[in-house]
Structure 1
Amino acid sequence: MKTLTNDALAAARRYLLLNARLIDRLRCERLLDGGPVDRALAVLRSYQNADGGFGNALEPDLRGPESQPEPVEVAFWILDELDAFDDPMVIRACDHLLTVTAPDGGVPFVLPSVRTSPRAPWWETPDDPPGSLVPTASIAGLLHKHKVEHPWLGPATEFTWAAIGGTSELQPYTARAILHFLEHVPDRDRAHDEFARLREAILATVSLDPAAEGEAHFPLDFVPEPGTLPLFGEEVLEAHLDALIDQQGEDGGWAPNFPMWTPVVAHEWGGFLTVSRLRTLKAYGRLTS
């Protein structure tokens, strides 16, 4: 079993100092050194708009200031890392989600306001977008995980159940969102039933070869920390944890394997993902003590 050496960890820290945003440096400081939560929260709060939503390139491929649903998910993942779901940012963001939720109970993948700012080419939407499992399912899953009560969550949960029930073939990001929701939604019997029904469809979106190139989605993208739903066996996870250590770049970071459409996002995604990879290695006991 491989572990990330102290030299490799030092290289990752140097990579973050040279390339990463302040929010990601502070995520790393909290993860590895028990750094202060308050400072990380103050920086995250600067990405939140007056309407309660998040924007301002917190999701690096959305460069504009306007609030979008996906940056709420990114903010919530960071709050999850910081164990700070009691911060007022959460309720403010949920209040905002109420204002952009589609009639079906889900939030759209992206809102038409995205057209006013530079963004990656895949952020496109019709004029009246419907709710989408990405990011509704992940946001709902995180709120359930932290037992947050808010009027947005009930309809969003029902939307997610209905959308899952009508699903048989999946795309990778949708599969990951569904898996996270099923991991944390309170109705455990229903979650296990849907997981059993969709397990093979989820696995069909996974690249089990650690050397797969291109925009592959690997087991650790689906289970970045140990969970309760039996998607992968121990041998698969161990092999991919070894591979994750080997995939650290010569510069000390972990590079994105999806398109970089403008130069700055390579640095911003690299910093975000490097901290996420370190978090996964720590969660599975692969950092040198």
Structure 2
Amino acid sequence: MTDATFISASESIRREGRLLERRLFATLFEGAAPTGVIDALRGYQNPDGGFAHALEPDKLCPASLPIDVEVACQALVDAGTTDEQMVQQACDWLQSVAAPDGAVALSFPIMEQYPRAEHWSEWTYTPGLNPTAGLAGRLHRLGVDHPWLTTATAWCWSALEADWPAEAHALFEVLIFLEHVPDRARAEALAVRVGELLPRLSHYRADPTDPAYGITPLHLAPTPDSPWRRLFTDDLIEGHLERLRRDQQPDGGWAITWQPPSTASTLAFRAIETLRAIRVLTAYRN
């Protein structure tokens, strides 16, 4: 990644990004204290302990939703920090809305009262590995100890031993779980199946020339030291890195390939994608 690429991307984030992405950028690239990220997240946490208020910008819902808790946890992971009270309250809320077996859904019907992207519909109300596995993996990464996490982890093991997801977003969540769950022997035994499953997944975009929306190898292996980097050839990774470099827009940011519910959501997602892009390019020294 050239200096010009980085400078124009950083200007785009500062110009159009939310406070959260600006705080994350400052922590990741400018040496700012990660407490700024925690402070930014506080505005999204509801009194019930969950997160809301379009933290995930595809639905502008003020009610707590599991997907927003997941985004909050990912921000803490990215910043290399945590806040015990914030996270424990979020886990208490997850426990209150989970199925008896610990699984949670991405969202709830209450979001239909507010603007949302068209693809956020009834399918997001069913508890599943997306987001339960991703939430559990991120919470393990944060060193959390909570009864809901124990129950959810047991459910994830059972679900994976019964069947694997057929969709790339769900597998993305599973890989986060397998990367961070404490039982390493069990995780590594299951991980051997990942390579054979990838080509059959819906929304998996292996071809770097494909302009369609999807999960790419760089989503699954965002750094060279990712445990999932081994799934992809050097040529495939380089092809996607080249595509990522080429996709930078004249304003310095990266475009998105779906339709959010508002202009504000579009700007938020562009900053999210721009921050992701420069993190990947920096990690791969491109």
Structure 2 residue aligned with 1:80: 77
3-state DSSP of counterpart to 1:180: helix
Query: C-alpha displacement at 1:106, in angstroms?
Result: 0.6
Q: Does 1:104 align with 2:94?
A: no
**Which whole-Å deviations, capped at 9, do the CAs of 1:29-66 have from their partners, x for residues lacking one?**
11111123222221111110101100001110120111
Output the CA distance in 2 between the equivalents of 1:126 and 1:200. Answer: 26
Does 1:193 pair with 2:189?
yes
Report the counterpart of residue 125 of structure 1 in structure 2: 122
Q: Whole-Å Cα distance in 2 between the matches of residues 156 and 32 of structure 1?
A: 34
Query: Does 22-31 or 49-58 show the bigger shift?
Result: 22-31
In structure 1, the gaps of 5 or more residues are none
Q: Post-superposition shift, 1:237? A: 2.0
| 1:142-157 alignment, distance < 5 Å | 142-157=138-153
Q: Which deviates more from structure 2 when the two are superposed, residues 42-51 or residues 31-40?
A: 31-40
Q: Do the aligned partners of 1:215 and 1:258 also contact (CA within 8 Å) in 2?
A: yes
Among 219, 222, 234, the alignment partner of 1:221 is: 219
Give the counterpart letter for 2:170 in structure 1.
T
- Number of positions where the alignment pairs a residue of Structure 1 with one of Structure 2: 282
Alignment partners' CA distance in 1, 2:115 and 2:170: 24
Cα pair 1:136 1:156 within 8 Å, conserved: yes
Moved more, 219-228 or 117-126: 117-126
**Equivalent-residue separation in structure 2 for 1:84 and 1:209 (angstroms):** 35
**Would the aligned equivalents of 1:102 and 1:130 in 2 still touch at CA under 8 Å?**
no
Partner of residue 253, structure 1? 253
- Relative to structure 1, is the Cα distance of residues 196 and 34 closer, same or farther in structure 2, using a 3 angstrom cutoff? same
Shift of 1:130: 4.3
Give the distance between the partners of 2:123 and 2:171, measured in 1 at CA. 23
Structure 1 residue 87 displacement after superposition = 4.1
Distance (whole Å) between structure 1 residues aligned to residue 234 and residue 85 of structure 2: 38
Question: For the residues of structure 2 that align with 1:86 and 1:265, how far apart are their CA atoms?
Answer: 26
Letter in 1 for 2:268: E
Is 1:27 equivalent to 2:24 in the alignment?
yes
- Give the one of 128, 137, 159 matched to 1:163: 159
Which residue matches 1:58?
55
Residue range with higher mean Cα deviation, 93-102 or 211-220: 211-220
Tell me, yes or no, if the aligned pair for 1:168 and 1:198 is still in contact at 8 Å.
Answer: no
d(CA) in 1 for partners of 2:110, 2:120: 11
- Aligned-partner SS, 1:43: helix
Q: Which amino acid aligns with 2:212?
A: G
| Kept after mapping to 2: 8 A contact 1:55/1:65 | yes
Aligned residues with identical type, % of pairs: 35
Match of 2:4 among 4, 7, 15: 7
Shift of 1:152: 0.8
SS of match in other structure, 1:152: helix
Q: Could you tell me whether the CA contact under 8 Å between 1:106 and 1:130 is conserved in 2?
A: no
| Cα separation, 1, equivalents of 2:279 and 2:270 | 14
Cα distance in 2 for partners of 1:192, 1:235 equals 25
Q: Which of 28-37 and 232-241 deviates more?
A: 232-241
2:67 to 55, 70, 91: 70
- Alpha carbons of structure 1 residues 208 and 48: separation in structure 2 relative to 1, 3 Å: same
Q: CA offsets, 1:132-189, max 9 Å, x none? A: 1111111101112232111111110111112222324511111111111111112222
Q: Which amino acid aligns with 2:63?
A: E
Q: Write the distance in 2 (CA, Å) between the matches of 1:157 and 1:201.
A: 22
Alignment partners' CA distance in 2, 1:165 and 1:186: 17
CA RMSD of aligned residues (A): 1.9
Which residue of structure 1 aligns with residue 136 of structure 2?
A: 140
